[in-house]
Amino acid sequence: MSTTKNAAHREPMTDSETLREDLDHTRQHLADTVQELTRRLNVPHRMKETASSAGHRMSDVAGQTGDKMKQVPGAMKELPATGKRHPKAAAAIGGAVVLVAGAMTWLARRHK
């Protein structure tokens, strides 16, 4: 493998320079591999990262759900008229609301 020492002068590298460069490259690759293995084997740290990530996702979902729940009172005012026109649809929507509220309560208690 004959690479160049300086691209402008195009002087060929000696065998010892080539070996040193190859050794430096190998050392860097080995250091990167050891660092990655150390990260992967640090189970307690990875569990904390995963739990933290899950917590952030849950708070995002809870915030979005809270925003949606703020819209419910306005929609509730429209239900009587909709219920008279479409009683089966109103019953299905009411059931879905009860189901979602129950699921949210269950999830909130489960994560405490």
**Is 28 domain-assigned?**
no
Token readout for 83 is 């219920």
| Per-range mean pLDDT, top range of 13-17, 55-59, 69-73, 82-86 | 13-17
pLDDT-derived band at 25, boundaries 50, 70, 90: very high
**Is 68 domain-assigned?**
yes
User: How many domains does the chain contain in total?
Assistant: 1
Q: Which residues of 52-63 are buried (b: 16+ CB within 10 A; e: fewer)?
A: eeeeeeeeeeee
What domain range includes position 77? 61-110
**Is 5 domain-assigned?**
no
pLDDT-derived band at 7, boundaries 50, 70, 90: low
pTM over 0.75: no
**Is 95 domain-assigned?**
yes
**Is 38 domain-assigned?**
no
Give me the mean pLDDT over the 25-53 stretch: 87
- Report the chain's mean pLDDT, rounded to a whole number: 80
Give me the mean pLDDT over the 67-83 stretch: 71
Token readout for 48 is 């904390």
